[in-house]
Amino acid sequence: MTRVLAPALVALALATAAPAAAQSKASTPVKIDFRALTEDGQPVSDLKAEELTLKVNGKVRPVQALAVFHGSAADAAA
């Protein structure tokens, strides 16, 4: 099963995280919220950190932790 991330959410998270990361010389963790979906739009419930690749300005960044939040149908509509 192929997994697809909602690109708009990832791009938005990176856009808000990038200025803060650029100001700091130290490697400061940044929280990025995203939604992982299958090709048919169903949420991925068993995603693992080692299955993700995060790139900022073309450079691969490590995913240090991954927490799964299961929302309701009302959350998805928002």
Q: Write down the pLDDT at residue 70.
A: 74
Q: What residue ranges do the domains of the chain occupy? A: 3-73
Across the chain, what does the average pLDDT equal?
Answer: 73
Reported pTM: 0.50
Q: Write down the pLDDT at residue 27.
A: 73
Give the span between the Cα atoms of 66 and 52, in whole angstroms.
10
CB 52 within 8 A of CB 46: no
Task: Using 70 as the pLDDT threshold, list the residues of the chain that sit under it.
Answer: 1-26, 72-78
Please count the other Cβ atoms lying within 10 Å of the Cβ belonging to residue 47: 15
Give the span between the Cα atoms of 69 and 67, in whole angstroms.
7
Q: What type of residue sits at position 15?
A: A
Q: Write down the pLDDT at residue 3.
A: 56
